[in-house]
């Protein structure tokens, strides 16, 4: 599966690209400032590069239709949420992508866990792809493709970016929700070693502060 074949076109990313477009900067996180610094510096040094694609245009009505889903299918929207009161409409682009990959996929409830059944794609919903904290909204295990949302917090984004061998795409819409776009975040091999050491040091500093009652 080449997911980029589904995209309409590639859009030029300016040299002054704002890394905050990759996540929701208003969302809180324990290590928010630290992860922002890591991603900002990696982009400035070209260790991280970003490509932008248009997935669909003139899509507002279809996104409204998806977000207005009722019954059992609504559980897919709920399953893909990052927090319980996240807007249904923010989930619609993710489901649009799934429907574009396989319009005939079905849903099943396996011991309380929602699963997608498809003859065309193998997909996991909100898995921990590093066994710890990295949780994309959608993951294709065969292709090692991670799909996240621009509404994710920066800490989750940072954890996903640190997983080696995984292609990272982040979906969002324009202000009028008329265009779905995807950011592809590429990481140089140097990034993974830097990110792992950086994250370990950040967490160790927090542990030391707690142990010394400094926070």
How many Å apart are CA 81 and CA 88, to the nearest integer?
A: 8
User: What are the tens digits of pLDDT across the range 163-210?
Assistant: 999 999 999 999 888 999 999 999 999 899 888 777 766 666 544 544
Coil, strand, or helix at residue 116?
A: strand
Element housing 148 (H / E): strand 145-149
User: What are the tens digits of pLDDT across the range 150-165?
Assistant: 999 999 999 999 999 9
Q: What is the mean pLDDT of the chain?
A: 89
User: What are the tens digits of pLDDT across the range 59-91?
Assistant: 999 999 999 999 989 999 999 999 889 999 999
Residues 6+ away with beta carbon under 8 Å from 14: none
Domain extent listing, the chain: 3-211
**Which pLDDT score, from 0 to 100, does residue 205 have?**
57
SS (H, E, C) 168-207: EEEEEECCCCCEEEEEEEEECHHHHHHHHHHHHHHHHHHH
- CA 98 distance to own-chain centroid: 14
Structure tokens at 200: 């370990």
**Which pLDDT score, from 0 to 100, does residue 110 have?**
78
**Which pLDDT score, from 0 to 100, does residue 209 have?**
43
- Asked if 46 contacts 180 with a C-beta cutoff of 8 angstroms, the reply is no
- Model pTM score: 0.91
Q: Which residue has the tokens 């710890």?
A: 132
Beta strand residue intervals within the chain, DSSP E: 9-11, 48-57, 106-110, 113-117, 124-125, 138-140, 145-149, 167-173, 179-187
Structure tokens at 141: 């295990």
**Which pLDDT score, from 0 to 100, does residue 16 have?**
77
């Amino acid at each position: 599966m080449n997911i980029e074949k589904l995209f309409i076109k590639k859009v030029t990313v300016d040299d002054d690209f704002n890394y905050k477009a990759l996540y929701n900067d208003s969302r809180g996180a324990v290590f928010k400032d630290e992860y922002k610094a890591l991603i900002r510096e990696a982009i400035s040094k070209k260790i991280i590069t970003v490509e932008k694609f248009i997935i669909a245009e003139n899509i507002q009505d279809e996104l409204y239709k998806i977000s207005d889903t009722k019954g059992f299918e609504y559980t897919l929207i709920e399953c893909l949420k990052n927090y319980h009161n996240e807007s249904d409409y923010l989930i619609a682009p993710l489901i649009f992508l799934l429907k574009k990959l396989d319009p005939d996929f079905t849903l099943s409830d396996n011991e309380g866990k929602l699963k997608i059944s498809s003859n065309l794609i193998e997909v996991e919903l909100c898995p921990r792809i590093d066994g710890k904290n990295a949780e994309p909204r959608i993951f294709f295990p065969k292709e090692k493709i991670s799909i996240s949302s621009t509404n994710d917090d920066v800490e989750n984004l940072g954890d996903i970016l640190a997983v080696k061998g995984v292609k990272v795409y982040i979906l969002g819409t324009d202000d009028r929700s008329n265009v779905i776009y995807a950011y592809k975040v590429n990481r140089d091999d140097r990034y993974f070693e830097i990110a792992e050491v950086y994250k370990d040091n950040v967490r160790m500093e927090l542990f030391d502060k707690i142990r010394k009652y400094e926070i």
